[in-house]
Structure 1
Amino acid sequence: MKAKDIMTCDVISVKKDTPIENIAKILIEKRISGVPVVDEENKVVGVVSETDIVKKEKNIKVPSFITILQGVVFLESIKNMEEDIKRVAAYKAEDIMSDDVLTVNEEDDLEYIANLMIEKSINRVPVVDDERKIKGIICRYDIIKSMFNR
């Protein structure tokens, strides 16, 4: 069985400038757990999941520090705090999306896709053509459904 045999073709996607509030409404209304983010040419550039939205509400962790000779030495990464601030202040898809998106092709085997999703701990994978234009999406539900509807 191939990706094209089990993928959902009517993909609900958003643009990078879609407000997070709108994405949350889509997830709730459509009862889905994530959406691909596409550019103007319908190429996949990211994914926003429920987890990304929930993480946005996480508190900012201020790094611990000590003072030595009237100087400040941070014990933890300031970069982590900067990322926390950026996430909490986010208001568009591009601010919270995962941009290291794994994709598959329509001709990829179901076994390959299932293994990829398990190994990488992902719940959905966009199906794209050679130009990364979205053709469909496969979620874990689609794989389970294909296993028991043969």
Structure 2
Amino acid sequence: MIAEKMMVTNIRFAKKDQLIEDVFTQMRAEQLRMLPVVDNEHHVVGVVSTFDILEHIVPDYVASGDLKQISYAPDMGILKRNFITVRTQTVAEVMNPSPLLVRPEDALLSVAADLCSHGRHEYALVVDKEKKLLGIVSAGDILGRLKQKELEGALEANHA
């Protein structure tokens, strides 16, 4: 199995100049955790995720673990104040400029290994030679396909 056979091709995406508030609203409405970021020619230039947005909201001194006890901190006030600031930023200011990119002909095992070794990414963006977005393969897609194959194997064994 190769990435091209697994990828989802009905893709929502963001542009670098969009406001985080607009992109986040779209993500919430469509229950998306990530959007590829593309230029006008549909070349991948990054990815913006709910995690990327959250990273810009949580203060560095908290995220770093430097504070051992933060229960006294007025957490919602800090988070709300930072969210108000972040939502007016552009996608370019918040996005991850180095998303996981794979090719359509990459083997599923290779894509799975890349997902495991590429940090906190649940998604691989499938691109052509010019880095134009073709599709997305998620860890959930791979696991779902494995479960489907397992069930098909069980059905075949029962009919034998």
User: Under TM normalisation by the shorter chain, which class is it?
Assistant: 0.7 to 0.9
3-state SS of paired residue (2:102): coil
Offset from partner CA, 1:75-120 (integer Å, 9 cap, x none): xxxxxxxxx9xx8586111001010122001110100000100111
Offset from partner CA, 1:47-76 (integer Å, 9 cap, x none): 001111111212265xxxxxxxxxxxxxxx
Closer/same/farther in 2, CA of residues 35 and 142 from structure 1, 3 Å limit: same
1:75-86 alignment to 2 at 5 Å? none
> Which residue number in structure 2 is paired with residue 33 of structure 1?
33
- The structure whose residues are more often helix, as a share, is 2
The whole-number CA distance in structure 2 between the counterparts of 1:133 and 1:37 is 11
> Which residue number in structure 1 is paired with residue 126 of structure 2?
127
The alignment-based identity, stated in percent, is: 30
The whole-number CA distance in structure 1 between the counterparts of 2:31 and 2:87 is 26
> Which residue number in structure 2 is paired with residue 49 of structure 1?
49
> Which residue number in structure 1 is paired with residue 11 of structure 2?
11
The whole-number CA distance in structure 1 between the counterparts of 2:94 and 2:126 is 21
What root-mean-square deviation, in Å, do the aligned CA atoms of Structure 1 and Structure 2 show?
1.9
The TM-score, its normalising length taken from structure 1, stands at: 0.78
- The structure whose residues are more often strand, as a share, is 1
Which of 84, 99, 102 is residue 100 of structure 2 equivalent to?
102
The whole-number CA distance in structure 1 between the counterparts of 2:100 and 2:55 is 20
How far the C-alpha of 1:30 sits from its partner, in A, is 1.6
* Conserved 8 A contact 2:18-2:90: yes
Q: Is it true that 1:23 corresponds to 2:15 in the alignment?
A: no
- Report how many aligned residue pairs link the two structures: 126
The whole-number CA distance in structure 1 between the counterparts of 2:22 and 2:88 is 13
Moved beyond 4 Å, runs of 4+: 87-90
Q: Is it true that 1:113 corresponds to 2:89 in the alignment?
A: no
3-state SS of paired residue (1:147): helix
Closer/same/farther in 2, CA of residues 24 and 88 from structure 1, 3 Å limit: closer
* Conserved 8 A contact 1:56-1:90: no
The TM-score, its normalising length taken from structure 2, stands at: 0.73
How far the C-alpha of 1:140 sits from its partner, in A, is 1.2
3-state SS of paired residue (1:149): helix
